[in-house]
A and B are shown apart, each in its own frame.
Chain A
Amino acid sequence: MTDAPLLSVRDLRVTFPTRQGSFQAVRGVSFDLGRERLGVVGESGSGKSMTGRAILGLVRPPGQVAATSMTLEGESILNLSDRQMRKIRGGRISMVMQDPKFSLNPVMTVGQQIIEAYRLHAKAPRAAARQKALEMLQAVQIRDPERVMNAYPHEVSGGMGQRIMIAMMLAPDPRILIADEPTSALDVSVRTEVLNIMDRLVRDRGMGLIFVSHDLNLVARFCDRVLIMYAGRIVETLAAKDLHNAQHPYTRGLLSSLPRLEAPMERLPVLQRQDSWRDGETLMPHADTDLPGGL
């Protein structure tokens, strides 16, 4: 294992022109991703999904992506042409979206879709691709892969659909997986299974995982490191196990507004937003190191 980060992003900005002037959805985000589970949390509109999309080159015009640098294993991936980006997207960086119902093709069988995705990147013969697809379905713990291969997306459950998505995304053996709210459409019991699968992949393959979520408790338990985003900026970076000792008032506000089973209270504290959070000081103790372990 090398110590160099898999992905390094410096001063990422995503801008959309509007009638009232340009709007920055992401305002100067910098982070490194190693072989780890990196959580990105924030409210809707905080720019967390947009950060993931910008890395994959999925921000459509008129949106504009700018950064000082954005490198994947040392190579710049900033503003590549569509043709170059297509090689990286799905091949070296994959993305799992929130709802499997909208990200699988409804008129193709599951097997065809996985085979197509795999052959696009691996140039393997059909039979080998089929074998690989079966293996991948087994890897995400689908009990009867032969049957599922021939099923259409509407014939499988939500949890199974999400596992199929993960299988498809992982077939070309990517270095990085960006998971955008991968479990929020799933039930708690299925959620654990899907998370276990992703966890194993990070450990066994040395993959980097960017886990975008709004669920603070889940991120605290599942991830190694957490970035907290507010209004397009990272306001705090900390190790996931320290999340409950967060210092930034925004993070603390979010945590305290959650109802807790073990600590009942009459009224929930409501987040009092402050303007200073938008541009004020951020808490990123060791953000300047290039080492993945050093925050």
Chain B
Amino acid sequence: MLNVKNLNVWFGLVPDRVNAVKNVEFNVTAGESFGLVGESGSGKSTILRAIAGLIPTWSGDITVDGKALKTDRRDRAFFKTVQMVFQDPYASLHPRHSVDAVLAETLRLQGMDNIDSRITKLLDDVGLGKGFRFRYPHQLSGGQRQRVAIARALAAEPRLLLLDEPTSALDVSVQAEILNLLADLRGEHGLTYVMVSHDLSVVGHMCDRLAVMQHGRIVEVMSVDALRSGAGEQEYTRHLITASGGYQPA
């Protein structure tokens, strides 16, 4: 479904150039859920943004569904295959567009028909009733906003969803609801997920395999079973697993 090879992403020009992602390589098969973990600044979100076409300064090969991506432009077919859900549901929805307007605009851009019935279906899919259709973001809680953001991503009927810390701005109780929703949607629609998170237990819950990143490089690709047993091959992975276990008094 997704192949990434020799991916380099940088920001800025030569004297101040920052290489945010260095020679990254991974493959995600269709139907799989793949996690990217690491500390802030390790380049995990940057990879997602480069795939989604939000960063033009990259080199290497990204292949989605057998088609190689160009650096600068993405065609319509791409956005019908790949959609992204962002970290902060408070920032990713337009404050003066109602839920209906957000979804209708997306559907129109994707060239869909039967917009009215599709909106009802989408809201139903993400567990929001009809009553939410004409609300504005400030009338929604954080969890409900994230559901709207997921509905917007699903509007294009994509097959690959890029999830950038989809629950880290939410309370644990709401996080559980959203993670369940994402698991259900993946089952129903046969989606492929690439999920970025700093929370190992969330990735452990959602994903089949994961890549551990440090300083822009992938340190290790491992299965979730290996993560559970704490069997990282690299020193850094083991350190990350211990640190995420909670606070150990010095």
On A, residues with C-beta under 8 Å from B are 43-44, 158, 187-189, 191-192, 195-196, 199, 214, 216-218, 220-222, 253-254, 257-262, 264-265, 267-271
Contacts and interface: CB of A to CB of B under 8 A. Distances in A.
B195 interface: no
A260 B247 contact: no
A187 B214 CA distance: 12
B5 interface: no
Contacts of A43: 171-174
Given A43-B172, A221-B247, A261-B244, 13 more contacts: A187-B39, A188-B198, A189-B243, A191-B247, A221-B246, A221-B248, A257-B175, A257-B176, A259-B201, A261-B201, A261-B227, A264-B224, A268-B180
A271 B170 CA distance: 14
Contacts of A271: 173, 176
A189 B228 contact: no
B239 interface: yes
B250 interface: yes
Contact of A258 (B39, B172, B177, B183): B172
Contacts of B248: 192, 221
7 contacts: A43-B173, A188-B39, A192-B243, A221-B247, A222-B247, A262-B228, A264-B224
B172 A216 contact: yes
A255 to B, nearest CB: 9
Chain A CB within 10 Å, residue with most, of B173, B176, B205: B173
Contact of B172 (A188, A214, A222, A261): A214
B204 interface: yes
B221 interface: no
A187 B198 contact: yes
A268 B205 contact: yes
A138 to B, nearest CB: 17
B228 A261 contact: yes
Contact of B180 (A195, A220, A261, A267): A267
B211 interface: no
Contacts of A260: 201
Interface of B: 39-40, 142, 171-177, 179-180, 183, 198, 200-202, 204-205, 224, 227-228, 239-240, 243-244, 246-250
A265 B204 CA distance: 10
Contacts of B180: 267-268, 270
Given A188-B244, A253-B173, A267-B183, A259 B198 contact: no
B204 to A, nearest CB: 5
B204 A188 contact: no
Contacts of B244: 188, 261
A259 B201 CA distance: 6
A270 B177 contact: yes
Contacts of A158: 40
B108 to A, nearest CB: 34
B188 to A, nearest CB: 14
B246 A217 contact: yes
A259 B204 contact: yes
B240 to A, nearest CB: 7
A200 B179 CA distance: 37
A268 B228 contact: no
A221 to B, nearest CB: 4
Contacts of A189: 39, 239-240, 243
A269 B173 CA distance: 9
Contacts of A253: 173
A260 B198 CA distance: 14
Contacts of B239: 189
* A-B pairs with lowest CB-CB distance, top 7: A259-B205, A257-B176, A268-B176, A271-B173, A188-B243, A187-B39, A43-B171
B179 A258 contact: no
A118 B102 CA distance: 50
Residue in B180, B198, B205, B228 with the greatest tally of chain A CB atoms within 10 Å: B205
Contacts of A221: 246-249
B202 A259 contact: yes
A191 B242 CA distance: 12
B34 to A, nearest CB: 17
A94 B163 CA distance: 38
A214 B171 contact: yes
B142 A196 contact: no
